[in-house]
Amino acid sequence: MDVNMLQNILLTIATASTPLLLAAIGELVVERSGVLNLGVEGMMVIGAVCGFAGAFITGSPWIGALAGILAGVLLSLLFGFLALSLATNQVATGLSLTLLGIGLSGMIGEDFVGRAGIRLPRLDLPVLSDLPLVGKLLFGQDPLFYVSIALTAAVMWFLFKTRTGLTLRSIGDNHKSAHALGINVLLYRYLAVMFGGACAGLAGAHLSLVYTPQWVENMTAGRGWIALALVVFASWRPWRVIGGAYLFGAVTIGQIHAQALGIPIPSQLMSALPYLATIVVLVLISRDRRLTVINTPASLAQPFVPDR
């Protein structure tokens, strides 16, 4: 295997991992605030179709990315209205959001099936991008790759170094106490849910603007669920989400290469690996219960109704 081939494999892994990382880091913030939004898949697929449509109509992939973000935020606001303002069951609401997103995206995307898409340009710096081995990896990727890494670092800093992040974590730990301290629980949760929606929408747009620049119905193919599993896999720690996203991305790419090389591993087994890995990790981290309890947002998925 020569250097270029290795670099290409690593590049495809990064491209496959970026949407997982984007969606998971958004959901991590949502869950840290004590809200479980199972609608990630739905927000992603809406982001994918709107991202494609935005780019197709305006001719600018950047406007496409913005359209994906906007679509994710709008859908997350619907979730927020139901699950936060009306205090509906978060699990049921999130599941219906996914179903709604898949249906809606099919409708919006009807006219775009089979049309050629526009790809977000890769970064191309003189000299740097042409360095051997690392050039393309560090300086020649799609812009959303850099966004995903920067976003993860920003979320880490926000959650653990700022007072607002501390407040968000406190709400996830005990929303009643937070309310008694005078913290506006619903406002924080709305903002967190919208951030999660934006991230999922952008992750979806990555699929239709970078990964495979076209619109295919249901093109997220379960990546939203992988992102949800990743948050648990990472035990709600941002830096572990990077590790998890790249591990799962590598598995996806490894599966394609294994098939090309004729290695007789059933592709279904490979597709199931991320979920198996999540179960294994859950078992492993559950062995240290103190750590699990400290990391798990204790008020996760509990509706909050302030009494006044």
Partner 1 sequence: MQDRGNDALLLETRGLTKVFGELKACNEVDLKIAPGEIHALLGENGAGKSTLVKMLFGVLDPTEGGIYWKGEPVRIGSPGEARRHGIGMVFQHFSLFEALTASENIALVFDEKTPISQIAERARAVSVEYGLPLDPHAMVGDLSVGERQRIEIIRCLLQKPDLIILDEPTSVLTPQEANRMFDTLERLKAEGTSILYISHRLDEVKRLCDTATVLRHGKVVAHCDPRQETATTLANLMVGSDVEAVKRQASAATPGPPLIEISNLERPPATPFSIPLRGIDLTVRGGELLGIAGVAGNGQGEFFEAVSGEWRQERADTIRLNGRNCGHKNISDRRMVGAAFVPEERLGHGAAPALPLSDNLLLSRHTTDRRAMVGPLGFVRMGAVKEATQRIIREMDVRKSGEDPEAAALSGGNLQKFLIGRELDREPMVLVVDQPTWGVDAGAAARIRKALIDLARAGSAVLVISQDLDELFEISDAIAVMHDGRLSSPLPIAEASFEKIGLLMGGAEPGHQAHAHAEAHANTEGSHEPGAPI
| Footprint of partner 1 (CB under 8 A) | 162-164, 166-167, 169-170, 173-174, 176-183, 289-290, 293-295, 298, 307-308
* Minimum CB distance to partner 1, residue 170 (Å): 5
* Minimum CB distance to partner 1, residue 234 (Å): 16
* Minimum CB distance to partner 1, residue 239 (Å): 18
Report the 10 Å Cβ neighbour count for 44. 39
Q: List CB contacts of 196: < 8 A, sequence separation 6 or more.
A: 26, 27, 29, 30, 37, 40, 43, 76
- Token pair, residue 165, equals 């992040």
| Cβ nearer to partner 1, comparing 8 with 89 | 89
| Cβ nearer to partner 1, comparing 132 with 182 | 182
| Cβ nearer to partner 1, comparing 274 with 297 | 297
| Cβ nearer to partner 1, comparing 259 with 295 | 295
What amino acid is encoded at 222 in this protein? G
| Cβ nearer to partner 1, comparing 18 with 170 | 170
* Minimum CB distance to partner 1, residue 190 (Å): 17
265, β-bridge pairs: none
* Minimum CB distance to partner 1, residue 189 (Å): 16
* Minimum CB distance to partner 1, residue 77 (Å): 25
Tell me the C-alpha distance between 96 and 193, whole Å. Answer: 16
Report the 10 Å Cβ neighbour count for 76. 30
| Cβ nearer to partner 1, comparing 166 with 276 | 166
* Minimum CB distance to partner 1, residue 169 (Å): 7
| Cβ nearer to partner 1, comparing 182 with 262 | 182
Burial (CB < 10 A; 0-12, 13-18, 19+), residue 104, is: middle
